[in-house]
Structure 1
C-alpha cells in the first residue's frame, strides 16, 4: 500500500540532520503516503501522524540522501481538522493513514496531493487547469468488500491481522472499521474455526504450520461471501469438516476455496486453487451489470464509489451512441460494459488470459457488443487501425506504475479524439500527462475518494486531441 523508503542507517551527503535530533517544525502539506511534510533548514522532513498547519517538535528516526523521516515528540499547535481516530489499531497496523484527519478535510488534502504531483512532474499552468473537488462518501467506513489478513499465533491463540507499518510484526485485528461487516464477520469466524480445529498457522521463520492467509470477499448487492484459505501445502487435514463448519456458522458464505502458496514470498495467492465447498464464484452487481467473481478476479474494492467513478468515466466520454471504444487494461470488462449502452462497439484487451475469458463471458451474459482479446494495447490498437477499425475514445485504467510508454506512443499514433485516463497514482498520472501534453489537452481532472481514511486518491482525466494533430 505504501511507497516504501529504503532504510539507510548512515548519514548521507546533503543532509545535515542527525539521528535522534529534535527540532520544531511547521507542517506544510501531506505527502503521498499521508505523512506530514515540513522543512528544517531547507531540508525535507516527513513526519508520520502530523497534519498540515501543525507546529510540532519532531525527532529524526531515519536519514536518507535527500530527506529525513521523523516522529512527533510534541504537538505545539494542533490542526483544527485533527480528530481522535476511532480505531484502536490506527497507527499500528498500517492499513489506514488518515483516521486522525476530519473526513471533509481528507477530501481537500487528496486534491492537494494530486496538485503536488502535477507541480512536481509537469509544466502545466495549474491556474488554467480545472481540478474539481474530490468526490467523497456519505459514510466513509465499512466500505471494503475484500479482506486479506495474515494468520499467525500469539499467546497460544490463532490471530488474523496485518503487518505493522514498515515491519514484519503481525498486528492482530479483531474488528476492522473499513471492512464491510460481512467480510469482517467471516474473517473473524474462520479464525475462530481454525482455532477450534487446532489448525496451525504457518510460521515463516520455523517453516512450520499450514495456514498463511484468510481472504474474504463479499458481494455487497447480493450478500454472498467467498472465503479463501491460503495454505503453505496442499495437504489440509479435516478440510471438509472445516468447510462444513464455516458454512454452518456463516450461512452467507456461498463459496469456500483453498489456495496453495508454497515457499517464502510476498504474494498472497499461489497458482493452484481447490474448491472445498459451494460455488466456484460469488455473484455481485454493479449498477445494472452482474459479475461472477472468482478468488483471483480483480474487482473494485469499494462498490459504492465505483459507481461514482465509472459514471465520471461515462461523463468524460460523453457518448452519442456512434462511438467505437477501446478499453485498455480492461480486466473483467467492467468499464467497457458500463459505457456500452452509449457506444456503437467496445473492444478491450488485457495481458491476463483469465480476465479476458471473464470479460467475454460478462459481455455475452449482458448481450453487449463487445470483444475482448489477450495482449497489450500497443499490439492491438495499431493492428485494428490498420484493418480499418479506429477507436473514437480510448479508456485506460492502468496499475499504479501508470501506462506503458509504448502504449502512450501508440495513443499518439492512433490519435483517438478522446482519451480517458483513470488513475490510482497521482505521480505516474502526472508523468504520463506531461508525456502526452503536445498531442492532448487536459480538459479537466476529477479526483474520487475510493479509499477513505487512507492517503490513496483516484482520478478521472478527460483528454481531448489538440487541433492540428
Structure 2
C-alpha cells in the first residue's frame, strides 16, 4: 500500500487504542502508528501533527471529541506543561491497571512464555500524592532572582515551581526558602556548566520518621561565594539538620562523587517499619517511604524464609531489603558497586543490632563466585539492578548457581522481560507483583519470584 502523505500541522480525528510505555496515547492514522500525549484509550481526539517520520507520526491533542470515564481533571495547574508527571489526567484505578498492562505487554514482546496471569494487580497507595521525600530541582537566575523547578516537557524552558503536589510539603517549603535566601545573597548560578560557575541544583530530602531535613546544593565549585553566610541562613530553617555542597561540573550527571557537609550532621535518620537507617546526601535511598515498606514486605513474602537459609542480596544499596530479610534468614551477604552505600548498610546493621549480615563492596557476579568458593551457598538470591537490567555475566552466574528461589526487583518492565527470557532457562516464574512506587508517573516497579526448575 502506498504511504499516505502527511504534513506537519495537518489535523485529523483519531481513535486512541492504547497507551504507550511513556503514557502517550496510541492510534493509527491510515495504518501509521501515531503517538499523542495526554490522550487516553477509547477516546476520539482531534490531533495536529507535530512530527512525521517513515515509521510513525507524533501529534498534539487539540480537543477531546469523545471522552472516557477514566479521564479526570489533573489537580496540578502545570500538569500539561511540566514533564514531571504523565498520568494525572487518568483516574488512579486506571493508572494501576495501566502499570499492570505495561508489564504484561513487555512479557508478550520479549518473554512470550511468561503468561499474563503471572502478573498480579498493581499495589497502589491510599493517598497517591505528597509521597516524594526528596526533590532535586535545576536552578537558573533572572537578575538576582533565583528560579527552580522542572523543565517543560521536551524543552530547556524551566518552570519555576512554588508547589508540587507529589512532593512532601516540607521539601517544597524548604526549597522556596532557599530560593529566597539565594536571591537575597545573589548566589552565583551555573546554568551553562561550560561557561559558568555556581549552583546547578537545589536538593532537599526529609526523613518521614524523624522530620529532619537535609539540604544539598549541587555546585560546579567547592569555593562558592558567601558559602558561610548561606550555610548560616539555611541552617536556621525549620527542621534543617544538615547542609552541604555536592561538587559536580559534569553536565551529564545530576550529582558528583564529592559531597562536603558545611554544617550540621552528615546524615538524616529514617525508619522503614521497625528498621532504622542513616541516609547520606547522595544515597540511592528510596523516596517513597510508605510504598518502600510495601515493597520490602513483598520481597520478604516472596523469599519464604524459614530461618535456615543463606541469602545473597545483589545490588543491596544501603541495605534496605537486606535488613528486613536478615530477620528471617540464617545468614545474609550483600554486595553493591557503590562503596558509600556499603558503609551505610554496615552502619545501619550495627545500629539495629543485626549481626547475621555482611556487606561487601564489589562487582556482584564476582562476589557471588567468591562467596561460593568460601562455602557460602545461597539458598535464595535477591537482586535489585538499575533500569538497564542484568548483564550477561550476572544472568550466567545466577543460572549456574540455581538457588532454590530467586527474587528479582525490577524498575523497568522492558529489561525485566528481556532478562526473564534468559533466566527462565533455569527458573520458573511463580508470579510478578507490580508495585506503584511513583503514582502519577508511568514508572512501575515489580517483585518477581522465580523458583528453580526441578529438571534442568
Q: What SS class does the counterpart of residue 327 from structure 2 fall into?
A: helix
Farther-moved stretch of structure 1 (198-207 vs 385-394): 198-207
Answer yes or no: is 1:376 the counterpart of 2:355.
no
Answer yes or no: is 1:259 the counterpart of 2:250.
no
2:164 maps to which residue? 176
Farther-moved stretch of structure 1 (134-143 vs 365-374): 365-374
Q: For the Cα contact (< 8 Å) 1:89–1:173, is it kept in 2?
A: no
Answer yes or no: is 1:274 the counterpart of 2:267.
no
Answer yes or no: is 1:215 the counterpart of 2:215.
no
TM-score of the pair, normalised by structure 2? 0.96
Farther-moved stretch of structure 1 (130-139 vs 34-43): 34-43
In the alignment, the residues of structure 1 paired with residue 79 and residue 145 of structure 2 have an alpha-carbon distance, to the nearest angstrom, of 22
Q: For structure 2, list consecutive stretches of 5 or more residues without a partner in the other structure.
A: none
Q: For structure 1, list consecutive stretches of 5 or more residues without a partner in the other structure.
A: 1-12
CA 1:15 to 1:154, structure 2 compared with 1: closer, same or farther past 3 Å?
A: farther
Aligned pairs for 1:58-77 within 5 A: 58-77=47-66
Deviations 1:383-431 (A, max 9, x none): 2223322111110111000111210111110000101111111000111
2:293 maps to which residue? 307
In the alignment, the residues of structure 2 paired with residue 288 and residue 384 of structure 1 have an alpha-carbon distance, to the nearest angstrom, of 29
CA 1:123 to 1:146, structure 2 compared with 1: closer, same or farther past 3 Å?
A: same
CA 1:375 to 1:209, structure 2 compared with 1: closer, same or farther past 3 Å?
A: closer
Give the Å deviation of 1:155: 6.6
1:163 maps to which residue? 151
1:130 maps to which residue? 118
Q: What SS class does the counterpart of residue 463 from structure 1 fall into?
A: strand
1:289 maps to which residue? 275
Aligned pairs for 1:243-254 within 5 A: 243-248=231-236, 250-254=237-241
Give the Å deviation of 1:305: 0.3
Aligned counterpart for 1:79 among listed residues 49, 65, 68: 68
In the alignment, the residues of structure 2 paired with residue 42 and residue 349 of structure 1 have an alpha-carbon distance, to the nearest angstrom, of 49
In the alignment, the residues of structure 2 paired with residue 388 and residue 429 of structure 1 have an alpha-carbon distance, to the nearest angstrom, of 30
Answer yes or no: is 1:106 the counterpart of 2:95.
yes
In the alignment, the residues of structure 1 paired with residue 260 and residue 442 of structure 2 have an alpha-carbon distance, to the nearest angstrom, of 36
In the alignment, the residues of structure 1 paired with residue 348 and residue 191 of structure 2 have an alpha-carbon distance, to the nearest angstrom, of 40
In the alignment, the residues of structure 1 paired with residue 351 and residue 132 of structure 2 have an alpha-carbon distance, to the nearest angstrom, of 26
Q: For the Cα contact (< 8 Å) 1:440–1:465, is it kept in 2?
A: yes
Q: What SS class does the counterpart of residue 84 from structure 1 fall into?
A: coil
Q: What SS class does the counterpart of residue 348 from structure 1 fall into?
A: strand
1:357 maps to which residue? 343
CA 1:309 to 1:16, structure 2 compared with 1: closer, same or farther past 3 Å?
A: farther
In the alignment, the residues of structure 2 paired with residue 137 and residue 269 of structure 1 have an alpha-carbon distance, to the nearest angstrom, of 29
Give the Å deviation of 1:266: 2.4
Query: How many aligned positions are there?
Result: 454
Deviations 1:356-401 (A, max 9, x none): 1222222222222111111122112222223322111110111000
Deviations 1:270-293 (A, max 9, x none): 233221111111111111111111
Answer yes or no: is 1:92 the counterpart of 2:81.
yes
TM-score of the pair, normalised by structure 1? 0.93
1:118 maps to which residue? 107
Aligned counterpart for 2:393 among listed residues 403, 406, 428: 406
1:141 maps to which residue? 129
In the alignment, the residues of structure 1 paired with residue 157 and residue 254 of structure 2 have an alpha-carbon distance, to the nearest angstrom, of 17
1:316 maps to which residue? 302
Q: For the Cα contact (< 8 Å) 2:4–2:30, is it kept in 1?
A: no
Give the Å deviation of 1:59: 2.0
In the alignment, the residues of structure 1 paired with residue 32 and residue 392 of structure 2 have an alpha-carbon distance, to the nearest angstrom, of 33
Give the Å deviation of 1:158: 1.2
Give the Å deviation of 1:125: 5.5
In the alignment, the residues of structure 1 paired with residue 343 and residue 196 of structure 2 have an alpha-carbon distance, to the nearest angstrom, of 37
Q: What SS class does the counterpart of residue 342 from structure 1 fall into?
A: coil
Give the Å deviation of 1:119: 1.3
In the alignment, the residues of structure 1 paired with residue 51 and residue 421 of structure 2 have an alpha-carbon distance, to the nearest angstrom, of 33
CA 1:266 to 1:294, structure 2 compared with 1: closer, same or farther past 3 Å?
A: same
In the alignment, the residues of structure 2 paired with residue 356 and residue 335 of structure 1 have an alpha-carbon distance, to the nearest angstrom, of 13
In the alignment, the residues of structure 2 paired with residue 204 and residue 382 of structure 1 have an alpha-carbon distance, to the nearest angstrom, of 45
CA 1:157 to 1:324, structure 2 compared with 1: closer, same or farther past 3 Å?
A: same
CA 1:206 to 1:318, structure 2 compared with 1: closer, same or farther past 3 Å?
A: closer
Aligned counterpart for 1:465 among listed residues 448, 452, 455: 452
CA 1:343 to 1:15, structure 2 compared with 1: closer, same or farther past 3 Å?
A: farther
